[in-house]
A and B are shown apart, each in its own frame.
Chain A
Amino acid sequence: MPDLAPLPLDPRAIRLDAMAASRDDAIRQCGQALLDVGAIEEPYIATMIEREQVLSTYVGEGVAIPHGTSAAKHAVHHDALSVLRFPAGVDWDGEPVTLCVGIAARGDGHVRLLSELAQILMDPERAKALREASGPGEVLRLLGSAGPSTREETSA
Chain B
Amino acid sequence: MPEKTVTIGSRSGLHARPAKIFVQAAARQGVPVRISAGERPPVPATSMLGVLALGAVQGTQVTLQADGPGAEEALTALAELLARDLDAEEPADA
Chain A residues near B (Cβ < 8 Å): 1, 51, 54-61, 63, 67, 70, 108, 110-112, 114-119, 121-122, 153, 155
Contact = CB atoms under 8 A, between A and B. Distances in A.
B9 interface: no
B6 to A, nearest CB: 17
B64 to A, nearest CB: 18
A118 B52 contact: yes
Interface residues of B, number: 22
Interface of B: 12-13, 15-17, 20, 38, 40-41, 43, 47-50, 52-57, 91, 94
A115 B54 contact: yes
Task: Give the top 8 A-B pairs by smallest Cβ distance, nearest first.
Answer: A115-B55, A118-B53, A118-B52, A59-B48, A119-B53, A118-B49, A111-B13, A114-B52
A153 B49 contact: no
A122 B49 contact: yes
Nearest to B37: A1
Nearest to B51: A118
A92 B55 CA distance: 25
13 contacts: A51-B16, A55-B16, A58-B48, A60-B49, A61-B49, A110-B15, A111-B12, A111-B55, A114-B15, A116-B55, A118-B53, A122-B50, A153-B40
A10 B91 CA distance: 34
A51 B17 CA distance: 10
Nearest to B38: A1
